[in-house]
Amino acid sequence: MGDVILALPMVQTIKNHLPDALIDFLCIPATAGVLENHTAINKVIPYDKKGGDKIDKFIEVLSEIREEEYDIVITPHRFMRSALLTYYSEAKVRIGFEENALAFLLTNKIKYVKDKHEILRNLELVKQIPDLNYDENKVSLKPELYPSPEQKERVKHLIHKPNLVSFAPCSKWFTKQLPIDKSAEIARKLLFNGYNLALLGGESDIEYCSELENKLNDPALVNLCGKTSPLESYEVMTNSKALITVDSAAQHLGSASSIPIVLIYGSTDISFGFYPLTSKYKIAEIDSLECRPCTDHGREKCPLGHFKCMVDLSSERIINLMEELIQ
């Protein structure tokens, strides 16, 4: 989902330059919800690449792409399947990164600069559109999200609490996720300091968040994990004083909402280009560890077994960073 959100400034910038363009967005079904109601997107094409016959699914979505007869296809994704979809779309202009596994199938290629923010990397692809007079005044850096009136109303009923802080401690990767005892430590300090807490996460995080809720047993904590759609989670953040999050999709939802963010890094760090470009933010990390960063995505376990990058983090420091931001 984070990648989808970070691709939106590219879509918005294209629309600003070419108001009459029809821009379709292909993504997996699990991330399609975050694109609902987006004013720059003509149509979302869901591609379920998991389960069932993968070749049949590939052919099915490729047929849909070819029927549209696109003039231009842009792929910020750098893997083989995306390159094949781009090539067999039969679009005359096929734009992507040189680091794509099948970059020779593209007509326009640029280098993927690793230490550049992902939004800025994607915007470089826009410059490859033929005859586009790229205008910095028409560049959109902030991802725009559009919860429906019904979603906004539902969130109002869920979080009718003042002094609210959003907390997203989970990730699908172990080395990017806070240990549950560390999350409990942070949450207790927030609650003690008089904040109400909205616990956010996806369906895969329900067990973790339920355990955390039981550990705290405090009515000032609202466990919304698995109960809100991405756009509803965004709306919760918009109505919060701040977001405390690990390096996950939540930080990109928070960045779209422009609230202050404390971003907690474990095995990753800022050098990979994933941080809140359009929000006030502070980073909580242990930068003295020689083993960091150990990966650009995350790992299923700490390769050295100690997980010091998360275990040794100061919860007091995290709270102080947040309060510095909101003051």
Closest CA to 6 of 285, 260, 242, 272: 272
Read off the pLDDT band of 239 (50, 70, 90). Answer: very high
| Average of per-residue pLDDT across 259-280 | 93
The pTM is what? Answer: 0.92
What are the chain's domains?
Answer: 2-138 (3.40.50.2000), 149-326 (3.40.50.2000)
Min mean pLDDT across 51-65, 246-260, 297-311 is at: 51-65
Q: Please, what is the average pLDDT of the chain? A: 94
Decide if 78 contacts 96 (C-beta within 8 A): yes
Read off the pLDDT band of 53 (50, 70, 90). Answer: confident
The dihedral sign for the CA sequence 166, 171, 175, 181: positive
**Percent of residues, the chain, with pLDDT higher than 70:** 100
Instruction: Name 201's Cβ contacts closer than 8 Å, sequence gap at least 6.
Output: 168, 169, 170, 208, 209, 225, 226, 250
Angle between helices 80-88 and 54-68 (to 10 degrees): 40
Tokens standing for 26? 């292909």
Read off the pLDDT band of 88 (50, 70, 90). Answer: very high
Read off the pLDDT band of 233 (50, 70, 90). Answer: very high
